[in-house]
Structure 1
Amino acid sequence: MRPSTKFLTAFALAAALPAAARAQTPAPLRPDQTAFRALYQELVETDTSATTGSCTALADKIEARLRQAGYGDGQITRFADPNYPKEGGIVAVLPGTSKTLKPLLLLGHLDVVVAKREDWTRDPYKLVEENGYFYGRGTADMKAMDAIWIDAMTRFKAQGYRPKRAIKLALTCGEEGGSPFNGAEWLTKNRPDLVAAEFALNEGGGGRTDGKGKVVTASMHVGEKAVAQFRVETTNPGGHSSVPVRDNAIYELADALTRIRDLDFPLQMSPTTQAFFARAGAARGDDLGKAMVALSKDPTDKAAEAIVNTDRSYHSMLRTTCVATTLTGGHADNALPQRASANINCRVFPGETVESVRAALAAAINDPKVTVTTRPMRGPLAQPPPLDPKVIGPAEKLVAKYYPGAPLVPTMSTGATDGIFLEAIGIPSYGPPGTFSDPDGNGTHGLNERLAVRALYTGRELLTELVKIYADAD
């Protein structure tokens, strides 16, 4: 018989404690932690991918939980586009006592990247707890934070907590793509009153371990790269496959993609990334950390850059990156291809233009037979929020409390979040610390996505406390 989940979780939590603490008998989960785990499981086990799932179905379950906690009709708003009935979202409001302070917004997306069972070791839409980790699609991106936000809102209501500033929760669909509908964009364009706030807390922050369970840095997401998509395409008259020629659309595309693979954009630094490499590097104390510090002082230090580039996430943080993500080619098994194309997904460093990236791709390909065209943008260009001490300061104090010795560093996200839509209407968006990941990225958007058990429960405590500090601040 398998041990109960709560005792497995308690053991995993205890394993992360100092040796003196581990010597004691691990305590079972508290009732509130057990309820929180059930909420997290419900979120992970509700398929919300664009192909086989439904955000609306999960929003229904979330609404039921909010109403059970005491939220009424005037405090819950459901929204959806009739053309995309499975991509609905929900907004809930806990009223504040102040008539002058602007609300605090908690933002999260419910949708996940599609996962195929045949590719995964475990069922991607079942929460599996194993060896100190939770496995399942969305365990890290971003149903852990969704669960924390929902848990906080329901507990606040049930406890009769009355914050100074109203706390808003907006859970949307469409952040991961797969559909033209994006809930965060829809809210900012159609119901900006629902999300109006002093600032928002969103995904993108967190922390990073040394790969052995020790949290070495915590991060506050302050700004992000822009997402740009390009179509690389080549055409040809084609012909019968029994008479092959070197002038082949698929071969020409393959040559172009090889050149894109070998294209490395030049290093760039912003105030946020410079501060990140200086502080995160100093916290490491190894050769990589020393190189990070050296590079923050002198971005032209090629020896330091070479060492930092060995870490793929740091390499991406230093420059614009482009990668082929999908491709199509040919029209029949017995015909020479008349057309071949690929999508190139680029993450553009702040300050660089989309057109300059397109030009760099064309220059690297250096073939007049290959066209490079810009596809429609996902949304507006990101507008980095300020490093506001009122936002950063409380987070630093809580990181020191929950992750002693790990510095809080401002981080530019190499991914993309829905914060860009909020920033476009004047709402700064920050990704707070709380949970953390390993250097390999924890399978996010890939196979066997996972989140450390300790990251979930500690993140819940930290983020709930942080929300209350912000909500009660003048």
Structure 2
Amino acid sequence: MTPAEKEVADLCVELIRADSSNYGDGTGTGERAAAEVVMSRLAEVGIDYEYIESEPGRGNVITRVAGSDPSLPALLVHGHLDVVPANAADWSVDPFAGEVRDGYIWGRGAVDMKDMDAMMLALIRQLKREGRQPRRDLVFAWVADEEAGGVYGAKYLTAHHRDLFEGVTEAISEVGGYSLEVDPSLRLYLIETAQKGLAWMKLTADGTAGHGSMLNSDNAVTEIARAVARIGEHDWPLTYTPTVRRFLTEVASAFEIEFDEDDPQPVLDRIGPLVRFVGATLRHTTNPTQLGAGYKSNVIPGQATAVIDGRFLPGFEEDFFKTVDSLLGPKVRREFVHHDIALETSFDGDLVESMIAAIKAEDPAARAIPYCMSGGTDNKTFFADMGVRGFGFVPLRLPGDMDFASMFHGVDERVPVDALHFGVRVLERLLVNY
């Protein structure tokens, strides 16, 4: 067992115990405690780093490992230190105790994403102790605020500290590299190459205020309700991006079934709970999430609002908004609460080949395939602001019966210790040799 394998679980536990809950509203302790774990473990082996706070307590840690070939572009390896909150009453363990039980590390952040934070830390410590040098510069970044859009993390760093990422052209981070077992002789490893775009939209309808007992044909509540119903009930058609088409084709081949573009459900049924990750990537989605109107039972308000969580496919943003606007109606206007790009890159190139080779070296039964995720990561920021081509690659060989998708933001989040050992070995092969 390598030095990194020996300590990665302890580092993951230590990071989980540093509560870095991000409530998204400015409350909480921030990422400082988790950043201090990273900094202390870097300093312990003599690694220099930059610590940057975008606001008090909102900590980011960045360090660069020099490569042996300065002609090669640098690779960014990044993970976020913040986690979503956890209600301890819902859990069977203390979500911030980092308990190790039944071969798993339990706690908030175990898979999202203090497992990767720990693997990064274990590997850089091993490289330093052994005096080993990768082929290219590696920039390691443990960042803040990913769970609330990255304003205090990736977005702040690319705006104010771009020099720290000089020469970076590619990146790896969450969510990808995990396994889906077909049978004992074949495991698919899903590498994320695409993400849907984000459009949180506030809808507003203006009407004529009046007494609730009177006739009113210009009721703002009625208008907003109609618009919400039209948008929420819209049957978005199946639309296959190159990534999704290849994913479904690869899964169908692995399970030796046909992929029918008019009915992809038989293929989706084969991936089990992971359908929560990819099921929504076959079409746009528009889910109503909030409603607001009025202040008294017998007063017709002059305005009513709603919020729609919209997610659009890479390459089809114009189509998405054209349809949304047609569903609004003439008396309803929209504005963005938050808008972020969609991403899609091809499943080819030297980095992809290196990721595939690293996985297969540790798992001969592996077959790597691309997939699109319905959510988003900091890879969007690094692409939008610096043109960095990003992939979701946190390699984990998982038990065949593990409901991995439910671990993200879920109750009793946990990661297998063996999966961390596997991940460290894969990442070592990738980062040293690429």
Q: Structure 1 residues 469 and 32 mapped into 2: Cα distance closer, same or farther (>3 Å)?
A: closer
1:124·1:136 contact (CA, 8 Å) conserved in 2? yes
Q: 1:237 to 1:246 in 2, by over 3 A?
A: closer
- Which of 402, 412, 418 matches 2:362? 402
Quote the residue 2:334 is aligned against: 372
Matched, 1:66 2:66: no
Q: Confirm or deny that 1:469 pairs with 2:433.
A: yes
In the alignment, the residues of structure 1 paired with residue 19 and residue 186 of structure 2 have an alpha-carbon distance, to the nearest angstrom, of 30
| RMSD value, Cα | 3.2
1:460 corresponds, among 417, 424, 427, to 424
Q: Structure 1: which 5+ runs fail to align? A: 1-28
* Matching of residue 426 in structure 1 with residue 398 in structure 2: no
Q: 1:104 aligns with which of 56, 67, 75?
A: 75
1:313-324 correspondence to structure 2 within 5 Å: 313-324=277-288
* 1:40 aligned onto 2:12: yes
Aligned residues: 420
Residues 329 and 57 (structure 1 numbering): CA distance in 2 closer, same or farther, change over 3 Å?
Answer: farther
Corresponding position of 1:357 = 320
TM-score (ref. length: structure 2): 0.84
Match of 1:194 among 164, 169, 191: 164
Instruction: Compute the displacement of 1:329 (Å).
Output: 4.1
User: What is residue 54 of structure 1 aligned with on the other side?
Assistant: 30
Q: Greater strand percent: which structure?
A: 2
Offset at residue 117 of structure 1 (A): 2.8
- Aligned match of 1:156: 127
Q: Deviation digits for residues 200-247 of structure 1, max 9, x if unmatched?
A: 111121224359999731022223222222112345555677889898
CA displacement at 1:172 relative to structure 2? 1.1
Does the Cα contact within 8 Å between 2:80 and 2:143 map onto a contact in 1? yes
- Normalised to the residue count of structure 1, the TM-score between the two structures is 0.78
Map Cα deviations across residues 64-111 of structure 1 (whole Å, 9 max, x no partner): 110111113xxx112222xx2222201011222333222222111111
- Give, in whole Å, the separation in 1 of the partners of 2:154 and 2:229: 36
Amino acid across the alignment from 1:221: E
Q: Gaps spanning 5+ residues in structure 2: where?
A: 270-274
Mapped partners of 1:455, 1:241: distance in 2: 61
1:87–1:181 Cα contact (<8 Å) kept: no
Relative to structure 1, is the Cα distance of residues 319 and 87 closer, same or farther in structure 2, using a 3 angstrom cutoff? same
CA contact (8 A) 1:244 1:336 kept: no
Provide the rounded CA distance (Å) in 2 between the counterparts of 1:133 and 1:245: 61
Write the distance in 2 (CA, Å) between the matches of 1:245 and 1:312: 43
Counterpart of 1:414, as a letter, is: S
Greater displacement, 29-38 / 412-421: 29-38
**1:446 and 2:405 matched:** no
Which one is further off, 453-462 or 59-68?
A: 453-462
Q: How far apart are residue 350 of structure 1 and its match? A: 1.0
Query: What are the superposed Cα offsets for residues 155-200 of structure 1, whole Å, 9 maximum, x if unpaired?
Result: 111221122322210111121117x724212222222221132421
Distance 2:267 2:225 in 1: 29
Q: Secondary structure at the match of 1:375?
A: strand
Which of 151, 157, 177 pairs up with 1:206? 177
